[in-house]
Structure formats: C-alpha cells, structure tokens
Structure 1
Amino acid sequence: MDPGELGAARPVIFESWRRSLDARIDPDRHEAPVVYGPDEVADLRGAHPLAATVPLLTHTLSMDDTIMIVTDTRGHILWCEGDNQVRHRAERVHLTEGSRWSEDVIGTNAMGTALVTGRSVTVHSREHLVRTYHGWTCAASPIHDPHTGLLLGVVDVSGPLKTMHPAVAQLVSAAARLAEHHLQRFAPRQHVLTLNFLGGLHAGLDGRPLALTLRNAEVLTALALHPKGLTAEQLALLLYGERGNPTTVRAELHRLRAQLGGVLLTRPYRLDAVVRGDFLDVRSALRSGDAGKATRHYHGDLLPRSDAPVVREERADLAAAVRKGALERGDLDALLSFADNGEDAEVLERLHLLLPVTDPRHALVSSRLRRALE
C-alpha cells in the first residue's frame, strides 16, 4: 500500500497511517530504534507487572514459524520468544528485545497501533507504513491491569506473511484476556507511584497525595532511576556524596516507609510499584530520540532546591539534552522557558531570530541579549 492508496485502507489502518505520517515517519528510511541493551532489558523485565504472565503467554501462543512478543506501554519489546529461524530474521529488522515499536517512531504496526487504540489490531503486509516490514503480518492485543484498568503493555504474534494463519488474531486476543485473568487471580494489586519533580515537588500513591520532604523526594528519585534496587551504602553516596553515612540513609528510609508502606522494599532498597513521573517521561523520550516529546514533558529543573549528587547529575543531563533539542528544533515555547531561567546567550540569540519584531517579547529578548553579551 502506498500513501496514495490510503483512502482504500481499513479505518484503523487509515487513522494509523495518518498519525504516522503526521509524525514524519519515512516509509523508505525509518527502522525501529534499539533503545535498551540486554542488561537494561533484564532490569525492566524484573520490575514489569507482565513478567508473571509471560510463561502463560508463551505456552498459549507457541506455534511454528512465528514469534511471541510482549511490550511495555511505550512499545519497548521486553520479551521475544519463538521459532529460532523467525527470531533471526526478525533481529535483522530490529524486531527484537530492547527495540521500540510505538507508532511515533516506526509508524503503523500491530503493537504500536494497539497501544494507541487500546484495542486488538492485526496489520498485514503492506498495511505496515514502513516498507521494510511488508513481508510480515502481526497481531497484537493490549493487556490491562484487572485491578486498576491501567494499560500494562501488549502481547503480539508476528511472522512471515505466508506462514501466519488467519485464526492467530483471535488466539492473541484470547491470550491477552487469559493474562488479565491470571493477574486478577494470582498477582497482587500493583501500586502506582507518581513522581512529578520537574520545577516542583508533587507526588502521589494510588491517587492519594503524598506529603514529601525534599530528602524524601531525593530518595525516591534515586530509587526511580535505579529500579533494580540500591544498598544503603549506594544510596548514601548518591544522596550525600563521599560524606554519606548509611545509618543516616536507613533512618530516612524508615521515615519514608511510614508513608509508602509495603511499596518500599529492602535488601536491596527498591520500589514495588509502577513508577511514573515527569522526569522519567523526559528521560525515556530522550533515550528514544524523541526531542519533541521530551520538550513537551519538561516543565523545569529536576528538584531545583536539591543538592544531592544523584539529582544534580540527572538535572544537568536532562536540562542540557532538552535545551539542545529545543535549539535544534527552534521550539519557541521551550526556548522561552529556558530564557526565563537565566541569561543564556545562545537561547536568547535563537529567540531573537525566531520572534517577529512586532511581538512584544522581541524587545525584551533583545534587551536581555545585549546584557548577556556585555
């Protein structure tokens, strides 16, 4: 299917192609980015709520000439199992663990489109926007947390065009429902911890606001950035530097557990929850190469009043990467935000060029630019 044939497509494909083309996916040049290495994938698997369902999904969807895939909510492939020959073929086109298959980075595909629509989707051959995948057919279905209704990821079966049976789509959908039933019966309710620390300090647990101190927020930032867990000694170094004392850290964690309860685990210290946060969204977007999304989620410096080494380092990395993306893209709103944070001559020069002379902000930027260059 070529872009000119779009009007003849099924509605779900038509809408997906339109979203993909709006995201400037090139059918001839794009390929799925590999975002995570094997060690990082292993860490993500260990913390992912769908890990408990993978044996069931593998058993249900094991068939010749196909692979079974499970992704997270951002389209990162965390598990890929099945026929060895098909897996080798899939690896050549980045249909492999650690790669990202969201619509906004690779265009129309069953996994990415299921994540967007929240429904089961089958994408045949030339319905894939990127021509590299015209030899594949894929069927995917979303899996939701039965306790909260939140999307957890998708399960997908992919295979070469000529080997995929028409009944596979129904089987994948049934397997997703089995996975949800398994989670309802055997998995405890997954807590959701929200950490919005860009430009301020706001947090919540399962929708309930948390009253955190700055030190609480620093501890949670460190644990969110290290989902596999940290020892008291490691936390002491990240929070206080060389002067850090593990005994002090343990006392901080004891006070924090009074608010978090069983969400804060020990040996090592780690968070037993789905952790969401604005700084994590920015971090993920940057790692996926989506500068525009990173800019949209960036609302200011990470915990601006914090002097903890782990926060200072992450704050500097995020600010530098988002600033670079804003300069390269000419993102007016983002550049104005950076200009408010200091006399950044390069940002001011870019704004001076972007703002029309008739815009009242142009005169203000010109005045600040002159001072910055003095």
Structure 2
Amino acid sequence: MAQKARHPGVVTDLGEATRPVIAESWRRSLAARVDPDRHEAPVVYAPDEIADLRGTHPLATTVPLLRHTLSMDDTIMIVTDTRGHILWCEGDNGVRHKAERVHLTEGSRWSEDAIGTNAMGTALATGKPVTVHSREHLVRTYHGWTCAASPVHDPHSGLLLGVVDVSGPLRTMHPAVAQLVSAAATLAEHHLRQHLVRREHVLTLNFLGGPHADLDGRPLVLTLRNAEVLTALALHPKGLTAEQLALLLYGERGNPTTVRAELHRLRAQLGGVLLTRPYRLDAVVRGDFLDVRTALRSGDARRATRHYSGDLLPRSDAPVVREERADLAAAVRRGVLDTGDVDSLLSFADSAEDAEVLERLHLMLPVTDPRHALVSSRLRRALE
C-alpha cells in the first residue's frame, strides 16, 4: 500500500504521484518536519563568513572550470559544501535577482532537512546526480524552478566535498542541462585528481565511556556497531578479512556477509579511508583507548590513568571490545595500585567505583584533606 503524505495538500499519494527518488526525498523531508508552505531557505552565513569558507574549501580551485563549463543564459550555477550551504552562486543577473528573493543565494542552507526536496539537498542525501523539476520541490515557493545537481567527491579518498548545481526558472531549463552538470562534476574531480595534493587523513576515536569520533575534524555519526568495527580495525592496523572481523565482532556466530554490509554503510562516512582486501584504515588513527594502550606498554601508569576516562564502549558486547575493555581496566587498575600515586588513584576512582582503590586512598589521604571525606563516603557505598 502506498504511503500517504502527512502534510495536507502536498500530494495525495507518495507512491503514485512522482518518481521514487523524489518520493523518498519527500518522506525524509516531511520526517524532518519541513513545512511545504515555508517561503525560503534559512540563511546561515553572512557574506564575510562565506568569503572565509570559500578560501579553505577544496572545491575553490574547481570554480573557474565549473564557471566556464556551466555558463548559460537564464540560469545560475551553484556550488555547495557537504551540509548544503551555498558557497558560490553565479550566472545570469536577472535569474540571480529572482533567486535572491527566495534565498537561493550564498550563505543559505539547502539540505533536505532545511528546505525539503531540492536538487542540491537530494544529491547530498543520495550521493547521486538528481534533477528536481517544478512541483517535485516539496516547498511550494520553488515550484517555478528546475534544478539539476551532481555530487563532487575527493578523487583520492572518495569523501563527498559538495555539489554543483544549475538552477533556473521553469521555462528556461533545457533537458540536457542535467547531463552537462554531471559532466562538469566529473571534470571537477579530474581537476582535483591532478591538482589536489593527497594528504594524510586523521581519524580520531574517543571510545572510552562512549563513541565519539571525527575524521579530519569533521564529527562522525556512529552507531555502536560502527564504533565496534573501528575499534577492531584500530587494534589491527595491518587489516582484517571479513571472516576475521565477523569473529571479532560476533564470535562464532559471526557472518561475513553481515560484516560486509556493515562496512559498506560505514564507508559512506569514511570514503576512501576505509580500504578493502584486507579491510583497514588509510589514516593516522588516534584515540583515547589507544593512548592508554601506548602508555601502559611504556610502563607509564600515571599517563595511562590520565587518558583513562571510563570503560571502552561500555554498552558493547562484541568479543574484541570486551577483551580490550577488560585488559585496559585491569592494567590501569594494577598500575595505579602499584605506583601508589594519589593523583593517579583519584583519577582512576573517578572512572571506576573500585573498593580497593578507594580503601588505598582512604589510608593515604590525611583526615584534614577535604578529599578524605568524599573518598570515605564513596567507599561506604562501594562496600554496601
């Protein structure tokens, strides 16, 4: 049975009214509570901020090429970042003035969750070229426009960099524009391959206490299973087969097919950083649990304790995580007890309610030390 739109007056039937790519986009947009009666996209950045963003964006060097390729009467060329912010908007002056009236201009955000189905936002959401024509736009304000957009990827890592788009009033857009935009995106990637210096990516995994990660400073949205996969790969930098990963993540019941599906989903965020045959990470990998391991191996219990802020992925039941979690906790605990350093004991006590550690502190801290009373109270609770 086809799904009905939840906002009155938008469409009568999402399954029958339009193309599947548009129907899916409407569903995402409506789930994000985009109002079809909204009149304009949100303006996020001021002109001086846009100038700063342009200067550091990797697509900056491709703009002259895109401008030359996509210069047409009665249209505008747009280049966005990965979140749908318009960084460049150039072209026919008359069309630009019309576009400015509906915030189709630099500094505005055109992701699906901000302004509903549109070529730029839907290309970002799907990672594929898309044309959105007239009433296919969820927001009625843009029913007089047609837009064709194509994503542009880093040719070295595969990571999405943004989209290039051509937009124009409904009557002026030629059907061949979509193919031209896709060709321009391919030319931009070829240009980047020739001129973009490959740099080492930095993947930071802070998994003590919970999953927090970023790639080159860009936060990653990880599921627990994503974090478990990354933990396994970080602990095995030379790489793992799907069979080995299945065993580490699921134990004897592990299925390599399931693992490959998980890796495919993870690669959507990591791009070329996640390599295959064997599966491994092509990046400088940093992380709090890795810092603890390094400190323990060098015999520096104080440094290990400073980095130890809690159990490794405490909700995980994956064998590779369980073993590493237990090993780290036991080694740090033994280290702080052996050194007998008050600061290290206190730091460990903050991350784990350990009766033996608290007893040692209770004996070491003078009664006049304000921390003594706090340790005494925690010790009583630990012994109850």
TM-score (norm 2): 0.52
Aligned position for 1:224: none
Aligned partners of 1:113 and 1:15: how far apart in 2?
Answer: 10
What is the CA distance between 1:204 and its match in structure 2?
A: 6.6
The DSSP-based 3-state class of the residue aligned with 1:137 is strand
Aligned position for 1:8: 17
Amino acid at match of 1:12: V
Aligned position for 2:148: 139
Q: How does 1:232-243 map to 2 (within 5 A)?
A: none
What is the CA distance between 1:208 and its match in structure 2?
A: 1.9
Say if 2:280 is the partner of 1:210: no
Q: 2:36 aligns with which of 13, 27, 34?
A: 27
Aligned partners of 1:193 and 1:100: how far apart in 2?
Answer: 27
Q: 2:183 aligns with which of 174, 193, 200?
A: 174
What is the CA distance between 1:211 and its match in structure 2?
A: 6.8
Q: Which runs of 5+ in 1 are unaligned?
A: 213-374
What is the CA distance between 1:5 and its match in structure 2?
A: 4.3
User: Residue 73 of structure 1 contacts residue 152 of structure 1 at CA under 8 Å; is this kept in 2?
Assistant: yes
Aligned residues: 213
Aligned position for 1:75: 84
The DSSP-based 3-state class of the residue aligned with 1:177 is helix
Aligned partners of 2:69 and 2:46: how far apart in 1?
Answer: 27
What is the CA distance between 1:191 and its match in structure 2?
A: 4.3
Amino acid at match of 1:67: I
Aligned partners of 2:202 and 2:172: how far apart in 1?
Answer: 43
Say if 2:199 is the partner of 1:161: no
Aligned partners of 2:214 and 2:102: how far apart in 1?
Answer: 40
Aligned partners of 1:16 and 1:203: how far apart in 2?
Answer: 27
User: Residue 30 of structure 1 contacts residue 106 of structure 1 at CA under 8 Å; is this kept in 2?
Assistant: no
Seen in structure 2, the aligned counterparts of structure 1 residues 78 and 192 have a Cα distance that, compared at 3 Å, is farther
What is the CA distance between 1:207 and its match in structure 2?
A: 2.8
What is the CA distance between 1:31 and its match in structure 2?
A: 2.3
What is the CA distance between 1:37 and its match in structure 2?
A: 0.4
Give CA-to-partner distance per residue, 1:175-196, whole Å, 9 cap, x none: 0000000000122124444567
Aligned partners of 1:11 and 1:65: how far apart in 2?
Answer: 29
User: Residue 203 of structure 1 contacts residue 209 of structure 1 at CA under 8 Å; is this kept in 2?
Assistant: no
What is the CA distance between 1:203 and its match in structure 2?
A: 6.8
Give CA-to-partner distance per residue, 1:153-187, whole Å, 9 cap, x none: 00000000000000000000000000000000122
Q: How does 1:1-374 map to 2 (within 5 A)?
A: 2-6=10-14, 7-29=16-38, 31-194=40-203, 207-210=283-286
What is the CA distance between 1:81 and its match in structure 2?
A: 0.5
User: Residue 120 of structure 1 contacts residue 141 of structure 1 at CA under 8 Å; is this kept in 2?
Assistant: yes
What is the CA distance between 1:84 and its match in structure 2?
A: 0.6
Aligned partners of 1:133 and 1:203: how far apart in 2?
Answer: 35
TM-score (norm 1): 0.54
What is the CA distance between 1:210 and its match in structure 2?
A: 3.3
Give CA-to-partner distance per residue, 1:22-59, whole Å, 9 cap, x none: 11111012521000001110111111000010000000
Seen in structure 2, the aligned counterparts of structure 1 residues 61 and 12 have a Cα distance that, compared at 3 Å, is same
User: Residue 60 of structure 1 contacts residue 175 of structure 1 at CA under 8 Å; is this kept in 2?
Assistant: yes
Give CA-to-partner distance per residue, 1:65-91, whole Å, 9 cap, x none: 000000000000000010011011100
Amino acid at match of 1:117: T
What is the CA distance between 1:9 and its match in structure 2?
A: 0.5
The DSSP-based 3-state class of the residue aligned with 2:74 is coil
Aligned partners of 1:163 and 1:208: how far apart in 2?
Answer: 49
Aligned partners of 1:134 and 1:190: how far apart in 2?
Answer: 42
Amino acid at match of 1:41: I
